[in-house]
Chains A and B, each alone.
Chain A
Amino acid sequence: MMNRAVQLLTGCLFISLLLAGCGEENASSDGKVKLELFSNKAESIETYNKLINEFEEEHSNIDVELYAPPSAETVLRTRLVKEDMPDILSIAGSSLYGELADAGMLRDYSGTEMLEEIQPSYVDMINDLVPGNHDGTYGLPYATNANAVIYNKQLMNDLGLEVPKTWDEFIAALEIAEEEGVTPIYFTLKDAWTGMIPWNAVAGVLQPDNFARKKNNGEASFTEDYPEVTDKMLTLLEYGLNDNFQYGYNDGNNAFANGESLFYFQGNWAIPELKKVNPEIELGTFAMPVTNDPAKNELVSGVDVMLTALKDSEHPKEARQFIEFMMKEENAKQYIEEQYAFSALKGVKQEDEMLSGLQEKIANDEITSFPDHYYPSGMQAPNLIQAFLIEKNSDAFLKKMDREWEKVQKR
């Protein structure tokens, strides 16, 4: 009898060891150092794999493993719960970064030489995400994106239009397109997040500087500072489809790539998708002219990819080597060329003609950050904004935004 009990117990132990053993592999058998690189972009897997191969050839003792799951931010948050973190993160400069930095999980790069190679506006941008009591720069902005108006060159020429420089010119262009029977803007508002592109473009220029900080101190509010934003959003909505909420992002990519509308509100990240649908299409991009003063019309651009090492990583030296490798000019260039992105590094320029309108603004430092990256993530701004665009009641909506913000901050 006793014997059997022992057998059973060992059986149980074996199973629990087996379960515990999953995911606990730090050093592989061949003595190489294993680095895990966690990326939140499924789009850049191929580019990363190429760069990683090159890196591994140079550093034969390091084995970099790329992990880029779908809904990466959610996966990362669940892994945080399990305290199972990768060595290097490649994530966007968004509120998640602020939370991680605030929780003291990332390396501080303040004062390092690496930081000096990066455009100061982007460094400021990510610094603003970190709450006051943990001031510092906990990541290196690497590639950046831009919130753009993409246009169909062919249609633009057919209509005899030029890239608008002011809000009035922009509206005039929309009018002309409508009169000629061309859909001016293809909205894809069935997917709530796509509404954030025009929203960020408009709010990025119109909102007061440091809105989020002021809002938390009670010096600013949506009700006071955003009415012009909601007005302009509703104006844009009039130049859309019969039903702006019928189609989602993928539908929109197909339709726009097939020439069904003049303008498309998307970021540079949509360009590879559009090219996939229709490789022949000729595209151009510009920053939405939100006011009638061209000098004020800044481009909304954000840190799309930021590289940072975890403070508790067991291989800090190897992690730094990898990040240094990525920051080399030729590698940074390869990354942005393959990803149709822009570089946060000084002097590395995107030379694709399609993106020249945006690159110019970035080179001149006429950029501002994505306003929604500073909204508390718990309030789910995209869904609230989508609901507003359906109901079109500005006053009630702005009050609701204020209320939700305060509610989420209080919890």
Chain B
Amino acid sequence: MKNRQRAFLLMAMPAVIIFFIFHTYPVLQGIFYSFTNWRGYGEWDFVGFSNYLNVFQDGRALSSYWFTFKFAVVSTILVNIFSLAVALGLNAKIKFRKTLRAIYFLPNILSILIVGFIFNFIFTHFLPEIMGALGIDALAKNILGDPDTAWLGIVIMTVWQATAFNTILYLAGLQTIQDDVYEAAEMDGANAWKKFLKITFPLIAPFFTINMVLAMKNFLMAFDQIVALTNGGPGQATESISLLIYKGGFEGGEFAYQSANAVIYFIIIVVISIFQIRVLQKREVEM
């Protein structure tokens, strides 16, 4: 038995070491530097908690937190509605089911940056020109160029892209439900809506939990879709927290200050994820 344990240990060690070097160590470094005034190079001093205090007084950071939460909540809800609907459709007995599944998964294969450039063209040229030709001048403009509507453009593209992945998870969930449950319900005279509400949805609750948590976490860390569409503009209207950390840290030479921001942000994401899992798992039912 002792030999076996040692074998397990030996197998696990390389992974642990590599994980520590490339993941844990940089995180600890980041936390360390958040207590200094390091610019990323050159000399530095310890400054205590002043970076943290400054984050809470920084209007730009606060408005980027507000934007990120607004964006994440709306996108999470929309993605889950759409992906559940698509999954239900693809789970039904329809023709070309497999082909359709492949097609609906396509957006997830494309790189977000490429999708971003396509949507950028759609918002800048394609939609305004159609609206202009139809004579609806109020809509004949680039929604990405207006600080009030730019975030909607990002939501549209993100939802389009992210729905594919969550659809796959829901499809997997739907396949775990046995047909006889539905047969029994039909005998009791349940209609389609009742069947969904009383059987399908409760039975895929664990998948619902996972999808909500994953989507929320992903959208809170939104970065590439924003770089591709607006780069944080117009003004600073669509600056997500990841983008702010990147821009301030590397382009603005505020490495230590944004490290503090990153630590705060990390704590917030962990708290939100745990909270979500707790709340959502309570309403799951066991088969």
Q: Which residues of A contact B232 (CB under 8 A)?
A: 383
Q: Which residue of A lies closest to B256 (CB)?
A: A411
Q: Does B41 contact A (CB under 8 A)?
A: yes
Residues of chain B contacted by A104 (CB below 8 angstroms): 42
Asked whether any CB of chain A lies closer than 8 Å to the CB of B17, the reply is yes
Q: List 6 A-B contacts (CB under 8 A).
A: A77-B41, A105-B42, A190-B234, A245-B142, A246-B141, A391-B235
Q: Which of A78, A99, A191, A387 contacts B147 (CB 8 A)?
A: A387
Given contacts A8-B10, A190-B233, contact A99 B253 (CB under 8 A): yes
Residues of B93-147 contacting chain A, CB below 8 A: 124-125, 128, 141-142, 144-147
Residue of A nearest to B54 (CB): A411
Would you call A246 and B14 a contact (CB within 8 A)?
no
> A residues within 8 Å of B by Cβ?
1, 4-5, 8, 11-12, 15-16, 73-74, 77-78, 80-81, 83, 95-96, 99, 102-105, 189-192, 242-243, 245-248, 251, 377-380, 383-384, 386-388, 390-391, 404, 407-408, 410-411
**Contact (A245, B39) CB under 8 Å given A5-B10, A378-B253:** no
Since A243-B142, A410-B54 are in contact, a sample of 7 more A-B pairs with Cβ atoms closer than 8 Å, ordered by chain A residue number, is A15-B14, A81-B40, A81-B41, A103-B43, A246-B145, A387-B147, A390-B235
A361 to B17 CA separation, bound complex (whole angstroms): 62
In whole angstroms, what is the CA distance A1 to B9 when docked?
13
Across the interface, do B142 and A77 meet the contact criterion of CB distance under 8 Å?
Answer: no
Q: Among the listed A12, A103, A192, which residue makes an inter-chain contact with B234, where contact means beta carbons less than 8 Å apart? A: A192
Contact of A386 among B54, B235, B254 (CB under 8 A): B235
> Do B236 and A411 have beta carbons less than 8 Å apart?
no
Q: Evaluate contact between A4 and B10: CB separation under 8 angstroms.
A: yes
- Does B195 lie at the interface of the complex (its beta carbon under 8 Å from any beta carbon of A)? no
CB pair A378 B252 closer than 8 Å: yes
Residue of A nearest to B6 (CB): A1
Secondary structure at the A interface, as helix, strand, loop or mixed, is helix
Bound complex: CA A377 to CA B258 (Å): 14
- A1 touching B3 in the complex, CB below 8 Å, given contacts A190-B124, A390-B234, A411-B37: yes
> B199 within 8 Å of A by Cβ?
no
A78-B250 in contact (CB<8A): yes
Q: What residues on B are CB-neighbors of A410 within 8 Å?
A: 54
Interface of chain B residues 224 through 283 with chain A (CB within 8 A): 231-237, 239, 247-248, 250-255, 257
B77 at the A interface (CB under 8 A): no
Q: Is the CB of B14 within 8 A of A80?
A: no
The answer to whether A380 and B252 touch across the interface, beta carbons within 8 angstroms, is: yes
- Contacting pair B142 A247 (CB below 8 A): yes
Beyond A103-B41, A190-B124, A248-B124, whether A243 also contacts B253 by CB under 8 A is no
Partner-A contacts on B (CB < 8 A): 3, 6, 10, 13-14, 17-18, 21, 37, 39-43, 51, 54, 58, 60, 124-125, 128, 141-142, 144-147, 231-237, 239, 247-248, 250-255, 257
Q: How many Å lie between the Cα of A12 and that of B14 in the bound state? A: 7
Once the chains are docked, how many angstroms separate the CA of A8 from the CA of B248? 42
Q: Of B43, B145, B233, which is within 8 A of A383 by CB? A: B233
Minimal beta-carbon separation of A264 from chain B (angstroms): 18
Given A246-B124, A411-B51, A411-B257, A386:B234 Cβ within 8 A: yes
A1 to chain B, nearest CB (A): 7
CA distance A378 to B256 in the complex (A): 12
Known A-B contacts A245-B142, A411-B257; A11 and B128 likewise in contact (beta carbons under 8 Å): no
Query: Residue B237 contacts which of A377, A387, A408 (CB distance < 8 angstroms)?
Result: A387
* Residues on B with beta carbons closer than 8 Å to the beta carbon of A5: 10
Task: Check if B247 sits within 8 Å of A80, measured CB to CB.
Answer: no
Using known A-B contacts A243-B145, A246-B128, A390-B146, determine if residue A192 contacts B233 with beta carbons closer than 8 Å.
yes
Chain A residues contacting B247 (CB-CB under 8 Å) are 380
Q: How far is the CA of A361 from the CA of B255 in the complex (A)?
A: 40
Closest chain-B Cβ to A60's Cβ sits at a distance in Å of 35
Which residues of A lie under 8 Å from residue B43 when comparing CB positions?
A: 103
Roughly how many angstroms separate A5 CA and B7 CA in the complex, as a whole number? 9
Looking at the assembled complex, report how far the CB atom of A43 sits from the nearest CB atom of chain B, in whole angstroms.
20
A170 CA to B39 CA, complexed, in Å:
44
Residues of B within 8 A of A404 (CB): 60
- CB-CB under 8 A from A408, the residues of chain B are 252, 254
Chain B residues within 8 Å of A378, by CB: 248, 252-254
